[in-house]
Every structure is written in C-alpha cells, then in structure tokens.
Amino acid sequence: MSELPESLLEKRDALLARLRQLGSCAVALSGGVDSAVVAKAARLALGDAAVAVTAVSPSLASGELAVARQTAALVGIRHEVVHTGEMDVAEYRRNAPDRCYHCKHELYSQLDVRWVQPLGLQHVVNGANVDDVADYRPGMTAADEHGVVSPLIECGIGKHEVRKLAAHWGLPVADKPASPCLSSRVQYGEQVTPERLRMIDRAESWLREHGFVEMRVRLLSGDVASVEVPLPQVGRLTDTPLGNEMTAAFADLGFREVTVDPEGFRSGRLNEFVPLEELVDHRRG
C-alpha cells in the first residue's frame, strides 16, 4: 500500500465518510480507474451494503467487462451486470453532441429499476471526478436528473489523485489508460451502429496486439479511420510495413480509408468540434 500525502489522506477519509452517509449504494462500475476507486471506497465504507453494477452494451470495449469483474473480485464487492438498451434510443443513434446524455439516462434508469429498488439500495454513485467538470460531459446532466451521487467530485478529488488512491489501495487499474465507450470514437453526426462499434473495437484490438497501449481509432464521415497514437509512436504507422499492414487489416474490417493523425493521441479529441452554444449551455447547467 503506497503512502499518500496528508492532503490526499484527508480527501480519502472524506470520501469514506461521504459514502458512509449514504447508507447503501449501487456503484456504476466500468473497467476504468475512477469507478474502481469508488467501488473500493464503497466496500470499505459500507461493506455488503454496497453493490457494483457494470453496464453491458455494444459500446463497451472488449476486455472492459473482464476488468470490471476482476476489480470487483479484488475489492470484494458484490458485482452484477445490467444490459442497457441505449442502441434502441433514436437520439442516441443519431449521435448529436448530447449522445452521452441519452446513454447515461438509460443506464441510471436501468440501475434504478433493476437493482436499486429491488435490493432496497438508497443511492447510485458514479466515478466522475473533478477534472470531468471542466470537460464537455452531458452525461452529468443525466446524473443530476437521477439524483446520482458523484463522491469524487464532492470530495474535490481529481484524476491524478484518483490514480494515487488506486495505487494506495493496490488496484491493478491504477495505471490503466482511459477507455471511454466506443461510441465516443464516432464523429458527431455520424450514425452510431453496432456494426461501426465492432469495427472500432476490432481496430483498437489490432493496435493493442501490435504494442500500442494508449491510442484511439476515430470513425469519421465516410467510414474513414483516424488513428491516434502518442506522438513519439506516430512514425511506426506512417510509411512503414506496419502501417501498410494496418491499412489492409482495417480495410478488411470495413473502413474505406485509414489516416494517422500527425498531432498524436488526444483524449476527448471529438469534443473539439462541439458547437460553442452546446458548451455554453452545458457549463451553465
């Protein structure tokens, strides 16, 4: 167990105290580090009164459910799976900048109906952290509407501190790269379909198999793949035999063209194209 600075020890204790106040909860557990830390804290604070639930749909990347299961087993928290139906929602499929709202609305509705009410749990909690507040996150609006608690935000805990807490508690996801839902790779305005999500998932799996850990495959208009890898690794995929292999492999998956972004990997890249009025409305809310 790694040591924490005094300021983070205070935040850790505040996190545990906040969760104890809830009495019981369902933790929305993805395969990522944020919700893993909340699940660990909930187990410490509430014991068997905390349950972790992972949402499964075509937008969940390969391997993320397995990571969530491993995390829950390590933490010792009861783990359940809920199959969500956001792909049945027209507003989600049309992929406007508010797509995430419709996804989270579906998730929190399912958690409430299938787990919170039947099990007599009092709250749903998520893994949103302080750094998420500054980004464009319409899913937070859905969380507010459903009364979802964001304990990391309430306790002033940011992403860097989340990773320190994960290391402190011995969670193997402490250094895991972020892996948001596959739909976040689809350019706004392009229809989200299960077929396109499979293309993206298999393309990213191909990159992982070839040694790329932090990367994204963005699906642009016309089923064009825009590949982002860290800037020092861009050369591995441009004018090289590996790049030619990638182009052929992605074509087999259904991409009509493959490009490598010369600016390298940037998390949240497609949010750069969100209309200004959407950002203003989001921050006002």
Q: What is the pLDDT of residues 17-47, one digit of tens each?
A: 999 999 999 999 998 999 999 999 999 999 9
Q: With a cut of 90, say whether residue 277 has pLDDT above it.
A: no
Q: With a cut of 80, say whether residue 2 has pLDDT above it.
A: no
Residue 278: predicted pLDDT: 44
When pLDDT is cut at 50, 70 and 90, the band that residue 77 belongs to is very high
Whole-prediction pTM: 0.90
Give phi and psi for 2, each to the nearest 5: -75, 150
Q: With a cut of 80, say whether residue 88 has pLDDT above it.
A: yes
**One-letter amino acid for residue 35 of the chain:** S
Residue 57 DSSP code: S
Q: What is the mean pLDDT of the chain?
A: 92
CA 72 to chain centre: 16
Q: With a cut of 50, say whether residue 189 has pLDDT above it.
A: yes
Residue 61 DSSP code: P
26 DSSP β-pair partners: 51, 124
Q: Pick from 42, 251, 269, 237: which is nearest to 149 by CA? A: 42
Residue 1: predicted pLDDT: 67
Secondary structure (3-state) at 26: strand
Residue 240: predicted pLDDT: 86
